[in-house]
Structure 1
Amino acid sequence: EIARTPAGWYSTQNPAPDVSAIARMRELVTLITAEAGVPTPYVYPLPDGSITGEWTRGDWEISATVTLPDLAIELHALNVETDDELEAEIAEFDERTLSAFSRFWSGMDSDTGGQ
């Protein structure tokens, strides 16, 4: 569905979602849902052509954004109760991607919202 989003969907100047960013997000979601049991995020395009996925986990608001042009994955989490933040970046999609994402994901305690 995101791949069918046309240029100008947000404003007259913005590009369509980048097909490589869509593919990278699909790879990430497939990996983390199948191998780590992470729930599927809500995925949507951003006005610059990049793609983001979001989760709510306890008091944490979490996002993974595939950035352009390098297709790195920026991870961010904000605890809405304590204002604690966690950030990480996955520069290369390779055999270390799952462990890098899992380390980031385990940095949040979904029951108490603490670290």
Structure 2
Amino acid sequence: MNMDDRRKFERIALPDSTKVFAHDKQGERLGRVRVIGRGGLLIETRQAFDPGSHHELVLVDDTEGIKRPVPAVARYITPQGIGFEFETLEPDAAVEIGVIIGKYYSATAGH
């Protein structure tokens, strides 16, 4: 089964100009969010994460005033970064992720 078959949620690749970042719970920037969906995200980072490890990530989009903690599990490593699956999303976090997806969806639709 390839990754596309397992995806339950649409994912949006964020343009290079995007200012959406993931921080750790201490506030250190881990890297830029390359892909985001309701199920998880892909972070471009040099930091090492073990697949299966649990983390409290903070999703930050200053242009939207978003600074939202999200519990996530590292799932896979690619040359582009680390893929995380959200463990649980509070309603407010789901709304804010929807805002980010909606903002970039129209820009990426049709590609």
TM range (shorter): 0.3 to 0.5
Richer in strand (by share):
2
Highest CA radius of gyration, 1 or 2?
1
TM-score normalized by the length of structure 2: 0.32
Report 1 or 2 for greater relative contact order, CA contacts < 8 Å, sequence distance ≥ 6: 2
TM-score normalized by the length of structure 1: 0.32
